[in-house]
Chain A
Amino acid sequence: MAAAFGHFWWEFLIGDTPELFVGAVAVIGVVALVCLDHSLHTAAAVLLPVLVGGLLVGSAWKASRKRPS
């Protein structure tokens, strides 16, 4: 059961898409840096979803290049 629990968390965070884990952390980090400038807090509301959308597109595009599972 402990092994299954550990396996669940590995699959939950990393799985077969490490780029989503790394990308999500990077996106949050970049937007956090942008938010250090108080005049950009509202602009960050556009930047964050655009970067997340780009992450989804990039990951799905990468998967489409592989052989269908």
Chain B
Amino acid sequence: MAVTSTHSGTVVLVLAVFLASTVEMVEALTIVLAVGVTRGWRSAIEGVLAALATLAALVVVLGPTLVHLVPLTTLRLVVGGLLLIFGLQWLRKAVLRSAGLKAKHDEDAIFEEEVAELTAAPPATGRDSTGFVVAFKGVFLEGLEVVVIVLTLGTTSHRLGLAAVAAGAAVVVVTIAGLILARQLSSVPENAMKTAVGLMLVSFGTFWSGESIGVHWPGSDLAIPVLVAFYGVVAWALVAALGGPAVAPAVVERAGEAPGD
């Protein structure tokens, strides 16, 4: 029973980190591809590598610091609260998009707009700082949300390494998919993935904030998938009540906007 409950919590954790990282990296990849085709691949790749190194350094520095300096109960209360707020924002937006009340992302439109802006920028003499900065900013700002998720989920469950590996695997998968799909990123089922991430973040947030204030969860970690199912039903009913799945016009949104964007 204990092994099963721990296993179920781990599976949900890995899925949450992997899906969140995938969604954010798809959005970052759109910007990187635009930089690559307009400003050259050297500056784009340098920007990506610099951003990934900075993000990894944040995890390496902040992760162990949080684990060793902050008591677990306090960590779970703060992290649980953050995940609850973060997850509710993701889930709310996903619900509104599913109900046709909020415009969905259009990666093709974002790509075209980035290309137009980068083409209009003055050509570089020597190293292309414009391409580097745009690629760095795109990956760093999108990746920052992933770092927060990795740190919060990883430290409170004492599985920081596993969470980091799941996020890294998503970066690799998205990179390979990006090379194969090239500019067909709009075919990625982004809103469905965001819904899943929102459900898992809210569930972890509920579980850990609850544990820190004295809630006794029946079945221990097994409560996490039950919470995911419960919030899934709430979200499904909400979409149905708000008008059901519908198609809303797509929208161009930039990196670093609100969680779930």
Binding site for B on A (CB under 8 A): 4-5, 7-8, 11-13, 15-17, 20-21, 24-25, 27-28, 31-32, 35, 41-42, 44-45, 48-49, 52-53, 55-57, 59-61, 63-64, 68-69
Contact = CB atoms under 8 A, between A and B. Distances in A.
Given A31-B213, A44-B210, A56 B92 contact: yes
A59 B217 CA distance: 26
Contacts of B145: 8, 12
Interface in B68-114: 77, 80-82, 84-86, 88-89, 91-92, 95-96, 99-103
Give me the 5 closest cross-chain CB pairs, A-B, nearest first. A35-B214, A15-B258, A32-B213, A41-B216, A53-B234
Contacts of A12: 85-86, 145, 148, 258-259
Contacts, number: 124
B52 interface: no
B181 interface: no
A44 B96 CA distance: 29
B92 A63 contact: yes
Contact of B223 (A8, A24, A45): A45
Interface string B219-261: 0000100010011001100100011000010010000111100
Contact of B89 (A7, A20, A28, A49): A20
A62 B206 CA distance: 22
Interface residues of B, number: 49
Interface string B188-210: 00000000000000100110011
Given A52-B206, A68-B102, A31 B215 contact: yes
Given A49-B230, A63-B102, 13 more contacts: A4-B137, A5-B144, A8-B256, A11-B258, A20-B89, A41-B215, A44-B215, A49-B231, A52-B206, A53-B230, A56-B92, A61-B242, A63-B101
B141 interface: yes
A7 B234 contact: no
Contacts of B95: 56, 60
Which of B96, B215, B248: most chain A CB closer than 10 A? Answer: B215
B215 A53 contact: no
Contacts of A49: 206, 227, 230-231
Nearest to A50: B230
A21 B206 contact: no
Contacts of B101: 63-64, 68
B122 interface: no
Nearest to A54: B234
Contact of A35 (B215, B227, B234): B215
B235 A56 contact: yes
A60 B238 contact: yes
A52 B88 contact: yes
